[in-house]
Homo-oligomer: A and B are copies of this chain.
Amino acid sequence: MKAAPAEFRALCHRHRLAATHQRQVIYEAVMSLPGHPSPEDIYEKARKSIPSISLATVYKNIRAFLDKGLLQEVSLHHGSLRVDANHDPHHHLVCTRCRSIMDLDEAEMVPPRFRQKLPRGFKVLRISVDVLGICAECASKKARRA
């Protein structure tokens, strides 16, 4: 087996994760892929090093990396489609623990604006701001438990 670079071992140790070979290969796959890869992309890449690796292991490790803050989810998924009939300009407070969604009136935020003109020929339709964090209810639950 190829020697694991010290940096990865240190990274894992810092985050209290066992430095396994699979974990390292998955991590390197993520880092080597451009843009915002999907679990399937990462799986395909990791398979080049470990053909026997399982997709579930990839999912489990992505989850671990996300939990530890090594990676971030591009736009948080709520488990199923969530529909919004509110046409007033507004944003959302999203609890990362219970996934609850609350409206946040646009007036409560400084409206997001671009410094430059439209970037890279992109035609903007709307700007969606998700304020991610812990809702009051979850925060109190956690405090009580701790």
Using a CB–CB distance below 8 Å, which chain A residues touch chain B?
30-31, 35-40, 42, 62, 65-66, 70-85, 87, 92-96, 101-102, 104, 107-110, 112-116, 119-136, 139
Contact = CB atoms under 8 A, between A and B. Distances in A.
Given A76-B128, A125-B133, A128-B132, 19 more contacts: A30-B83, A30-B85, A36-B78, A36-B83, A39-B80, A39-B83, A62-B83, A66-B83, A73-B83, A74-B83, A75-B77, A75-B82, A75-B130, A93-B119, A104-B119, A108-B116, A121-B135, A128-B131, A130-B130
B110 A112 contact: yes
Q: Give the number of times this chain occurs in the complex, counting copies.
A: 2
A124 B133 contact: yes
A133 B129 contact: no
